[in-house]
Amino acid sequence: MSKNIVYMDNSATTIQAREVTAAIMKSLESDFANPSSLHELGRKAQNEVSKARSIIAAELGVDSKGIVFTSGGTESINTVILGAADALKRKGRRIITTKIEHPAVLESCRHLESRGFEVIYLDVDRCGFPDLDMYRKALTGDVILVCVMAVNNEIGTVLPVREMCADAHRNGALFHVDAVQAFGKIDLTGCGADFISVSAHKIHGPKGVGAFYASGRAKFIPLILGGGQEKGRRSGTENVNGIIGFGKAVELMREDRNGEKSSNPVNDPGSAAGSGGAESRENRNGGYVWSLRQRLITGLRNNIGDIKVNGPEKRGEVSDYILNVSFLGTRGEVILHALEADGIYVSTGSACSSNKRGQSHVLRAAGCTEREIESAIRFSLSRYNTAGEIDYTVERVAAAVTRFRKLGSFR
């Protein structure tokens, strides 16, 4: 990159790790064959796909036979919801989800509603936790599928998917976890889900590749038909190079949890934007990202008045990686562009719906006021952020908020 940046929009996408890029570049030269081909080169490509499949399965704690590669999280989610609904419609036509799900879930559910399915959207409290009493009352025998995200992409709420999955199974329903924001960041092993959707580009892997897990009991009809790849569950020649990059990204996550160092894909250590990070980047295990999040909250509160943290604040109830803050008396989009001028990149909500110019459905469902919604900024961190970047961000946010509040046009 031509200049140092402070990238805090990792819930939208992450910067591809250098080691991932290297693995993909190598595979472009050596793994170009079609993995369905019977010759040696085809077998070699298939072996690389199988290796990545096993790596991803191990991270989820599931059987690698259940991993199906797709073009990304959206395709995975669409395949699961639409495919399971079609496979199980003779049993029932009722689906349960929450009001704060990603658009990939909500739009799939709305499509099913247009086809005569009933979808129950669970209310959430001000922290984004679903109404479990409402959930259990809705879990009748004709519910065929429950779809719940593990981590909310806007406010970071960690939803009780283990508990909800157990309830669903007791009532004979399948359970799907949207783990796009959770994969590698919270432990999902043994959660019991029938389906789990994941994406590579949220974990410093390449765009255009994702996967979902389908358990042995999970029934679904494939969304994409053709040559019968992925054991007939998702046709189309596999994106071998992207899948290799996906596997490498998962390996890097594991290394980081073990305290091993991978290179920063954004800034060189010791640079202005990366100052204060050379030591801390070597200690990402033991809550490193959480410590950055807490440093950011403390700095904002100490330097800016009249702010509100949206979502939970207790570790375990909220993702280490996401902080959503309303700077009352401003507009989030104005603050976003002011920070952009300082080389800091954040967001006002989900990148998948930001171009629609609508208000955040997540904050609205959580009961936020109009002022809180319009002044919200999402800071989403990664293991490559540094303490120096946090301090610089606090300084520039404080300056921007002070400047625009003085204008008085946002109150």
For the annotated catalytic residues, the residue numbers are 352
Contacts by 348-357, CB closer than 8 A, 24 or more apart: 348/376, 348/377, 348/378, 349/154, 349/376, 349/378, 350/11, 350/12, 350/102, 350/103, 350/153, 350/154, 351/9, 351/11, 351/12, 351/13, 352/74, 352/102, 352/103, 352/104, 353/103
Q: Are the C-beta atoms of 101 and 178 separated by less than 8 Å?
A: yes
Reduced to 3 states, what is the DSSP secondary structure of residue 120?
strand
d(CA 91, CA 228) in angstroms, rounded, equals 27
Residue 391, phi-psi category: left (phi > 0), alpha (psi -120 to 50), beta (remainder): alpha
Say if strands 174-178 and 344-345 run parallel, antiparallel, or are unpaired: unpaired
d(CA 351, CA 324) in angstroms, rounded, equals 14
**What are the distances in angstroms from CA 355 to CA 347, 350, 376?**
12, 9, 16
d(CA 67, CA 31) in angstroms, rounded, equals 21
Query: How many CB atoms are located within 10 Å of the residue 189 CB?
Result: 9
